[in-house]
A and B are shown apart, each in its own frame.
Chain A
Amino acid sequence: MAGVNAQSRGDGQEQRARDMGMTTEALSGRTQQVFFEPSEEERFTYPWAPEVDYNKRTEIDADGLTTTEVNKRLRDLMAEGYGTVVIQNPRGKHGLGVGILSRLNLIFEGSLGYFGVGLIDGPNVRITGRVGWSCAENMMAGTVVIEKNAGSTFGAAIRGGDLVCRGSVGSRTGIDMKGGTIIVGGDTGALSGFMMQRGRMVVCGNAGKNLGDSMYDGTIYVGGEIRSLGVDAVEAELTDLDKAWLTRKLRQYGLLPEQGVDHFTKVVAGKQLWNYDNLEPNEKKLIL
């Protein structure tokens, strides 16, 4: 696991789970939800996360190194306190920069292959080239900005953070996304937002067929043409709140279209495929 130092690795599963705010004790009927206190550092960072200084900057030349060597070098530099790391010549290698669970300014000068910066929680990443399939899959928090195009399954199953591609992305963008924001400056391919569960996806260009197919929840905003909507994806009214949010988000990444955001189409779940019981099993027992 990323950034896990020797001590915390030795503490065993139980201790580590407790450190992360999870607990294995019997529940006593109170809510399981953990409420965050913004002023508290606790639970915003992992207990073993290295202390890094954004002003300490260094480079890694990935030429001739394997993916494992680059990622190991990155961890070592973070342990040394480097907060800004530039990775040169990634040349489409797969799995670079994965599993970073702490603050970090990470810059890739070039293009990544598959599964680039997957499983991250916290870093701010900038990629000057293109990314392959499944970039930032399972991202928990942080920002990822890609200057060129991206491959398919962009931001698969992300749970938080901002994932931005200034160019066009492939098919199945944001498949199974459970939170966070995906922003695409160009077009997206077929089956984008497939089985989306929560979060927001913004596509400034056109969307391919079956947009939002079988989505449970969440919102998709499309600036251009939608080739077709998927099963149970429906258009909804673009409210002032939506417009305000879109304007703010797109301006933040310099992607705000000249004509503003009024032309965006909003797509949400029709909830006709929903087949949930509204009652919890215990409540059901009481009633039936």
Chain B
Amino acid sequence: MCGIAGLIHRGKRSDVGSEMTAMLQALKHRGPDSTGFAVYGEPVEGDYVLRLKAAEQEDMGKGRGIDKIVDERIAEVERRMEERGAVIKLRDRVRPHAVRYVLSHDGDTEDLAKYIEEVDGTEILSFGNGLELIKDLGDATRVADEYKLQGFKGTHGIGHTRMATESDVDIRSAHPYWAFPYNDVSVVHNGQITNYWNMRREMERRGHRFMSNCDSELLAVYTAHNLANGMTLEESLRRSIDEIDGVFTYLVATKDQLGMAKDTMAAKPLVLYESDDLIAMASEEVAIRAILPHEIDTVDPYDEEVRVWQA
């Protein structure tokens, strides 16, 4: 079933960390397996935020010297960063299996990302100037507490509560997906994609990498592919309705934009609230009410609807 939520403040910064946590906690009943956030803080030119996981959460409890292995992986990642000329300005071991870096780097970020991911068991969750992507098993408050998300100031964010239907319960299959290797782009999705394998093979032929067997990852790769080929976010969203089969509603966030697309059957829900300074959307109204308790007007977008908002 899955729940998705997104919000964007126009012309101001707010505590999007707490707001997204409240929205996703209200959607817990739609998906208790894992929760993920992609929130956008103030972009720092030249500095990158890189978040990665060096193991799955469930691996950490199994023993067998996993702590040592993870330490070795992280050491190897850092060695590779330095080898490619990146300077680690900040290193935060948020969880035993997850690290957040602030880097300065002048070179090719795609090359760097690929080089880092060659380290066994390592996956870059996000890479960008403003994007902070957090995902782990558990409900919204648990993940937000573990990753100290409360109080995060930003302009916009998207999030996801997952009920695993077609792939495993692990971080690899949790949303949001970073649109590798496209900086600052993230995707959350609710639905099923029926031409997944065709589209995945198509994307793999064009040289894109897939880390999971989760159909939602396709949307991230597909969006990255379109953006890299010069499409605007809106064009990419619109094209996806024709090219991707299935039932889906998905949200895409970039450094300064938030977009949504709904499939041709309008089979997956989304409720939308728009005002001059805040746009909020979620699978169910109850999530929007979690941050806006006063009386508001909301609408359901129709089939094939595509919208993009600017921060």
Contact = CB atoms under 8 A, between A and B. Distances in A.
B285 A170 contact: no
B265 interface: yes
Contacts of A92: 284-286, 288-289
B152 interface: no
A152 to B, nearest CB: 6
B295 A151 contact: no
B289 A111 contact: yes
Interface stretch (A36-44, A53-61, A125-133, A177-185): A125-133
Interface string A202-229: 0000001100000000000000000000
Interface residues of A, number: 27
Given A111-B289, A190-B265, A170 B284 contact: no
Interface string A63-97: 00000000000000000000000000001111000
Contacts of B169: none
Contact of A133 (B269, B288, B295, B298): B269
A93 B266 contact: no
Contacts of A171: 265-267, 300, 302-303
A92 B285 CA distance: 6
B266 A113 contact: no
A93 B286 contact: yes
Contacts, number: 67
Contacts of A191: 265-266
Nearest to A133: B269
B266 A111 contact: no
Interface residues of B, number: 19
B284 A189 contact: no
A149 interface: yes
A165 B89 CA distance: 57
A261 B218 CA distance: 48
B299 interface: yes
A209 B264 CA distance: 10
Nearest to B26: A92
Interface in A155-199: 168-172, 189-191
A189 B302 contact: yes
A264 interface: no
Contacts of B264: 190
Nearest to B293: A91
B296 to A, nearest CB: 8
A130 B266 contact: no
Q: Is the interface of B mostly helix, strand, loop or mixed?
A: loop
A148 B296 CA distance: 10
Contacts of A209: 303
A168 B299 contact: yes
Interface string A126-155: 000110110000000000000011111000
A149 B266 contact: no
A132 B285 contact: yes
A152 B269 contact: yes
A110 interface: yes
Nearest to A150: B300
A189 B285 contact: no
Given A91-B289, A92-B288, A152-B266, A189 B297 contact: no
Contacts of B265: 171, 190-191
Contact of B295 (A129, A149, A152, A168): A129
A193 to B, nearest CB: 15
Contact of B303 (A110, A151, A208): A208
Given A152-B300, A208-B303, A113 B284 contact: yes
Contacts of B297: 130, 148-149
Nearest to B287: A92
A93 to B, nearest CB: 7
Nearest to A186: B299
B284 A132 contact: yes
B295 A110 contact: yes
Given A148-B297, A152-B266, A111 B302 contact: no
Contacts of B298: 111, 130, 148-149
Given A110-B295, A111-B298, A171-B303, A151 B269 contact: yes
Contacts of A149: 297-300
B135 to A, nearest CB: 26
Contact of B271 (A93, A94, A132, A172): A132
Interface string B244-281: 00000000000000000000111101010000000000
Contact of A170 (B266, B286, B289, B293): B266
13 contacts: A92-B286, A94-B284, A113-B284, A130-B297, A148-B297, A149-B298, A151-B271, A168-B299, A171-B267, A171-B300, A172-B266, A189-B302, A190-B302
Interface of B: 264-267, 269, 271, 284-286, 288-289, 293, 295, 297-300, 302-303
Enumerate the 5 nearest inter-chain pairs by beta-carbon distance, A residue then B residue, closest first.
Answer: A92-B285, A170-B300, A92-B286, A171-B266, A190-B303
